[in-house]
Amino acid sequence: MSKNSKLVYSTDRGRIKPEPGANKTTTSKGDGIVRIRRETSGRKGNAVTTLHGLEGTDTEIKALATALKRLCGSGGSLKNDILEIQGDHREKIAAALTERGFKVKIAGG
């Protein structure tokens, strides 16, 4: 495709031009408190630690996710602004986030 092309949308690839500001999206959820929960529902009894309410840009949240996964020694993913880390690591994550300056609450049972 040439540089001077005016193509904006294609049926085989979708939108061609990136949305303005697509790289620097920030998430601002609620009251600024990160809620850490242990969930087992829908996971065949396996525990997953979820973090709700993380604020920052996408790159900051991804870097934080990598650091927390490395701290816990387990895998995880970031889906719909919710960070999931495999296993029950609530105390480790709460301590690490408070050191980084986040307000943390351990929610649920």
- Tens of pLDDT, residue by residue over 58-68, are 899 999 999 99
Residue 76 lies in a domain: yes
19 in a structural domain: no
- Of 5-14, 73-82, 83-92, the one with minimum mean pLDDT is 5-14
Range of the domain at 66: 26-106
What is the three-state SS of the chain?
CCCCCCCCEECCCEECCCCCCCCCCEECCCCCEEEEEEECCCCCCCCEEEEECCCEEHHHHHHHHHHHHHHHCCCEEEECCEEEEEECCHHHHHHHHHHCCCEEEECCC
Question: Is position 66 within any domain?
Answer: yes
Please report, rounded to a whole number, the percentage of residues in the chain having pLDDT higher than 70. 72
Inform me whether the pLDDT recorded for 93 exceeds 60.
yes
Model confidence pLDDT, tens digit, residues 42-82: 778 889 999 999 888 889 999 999 999 999 999 999 988 89
Q: What is the CATH number of the domain that holds 83?
A: 3.30.780.10
Top pLDDT among 35 and 45 is at 35
Q: What is the pTM of this model?
A: 0.70
| pLDDT of 6 | 66
Number of domains in the chain: 1
pLDDT category at 40 given cuts 50, 70, 90 is: confident
Is residue 35 situated within a structural domain? yes
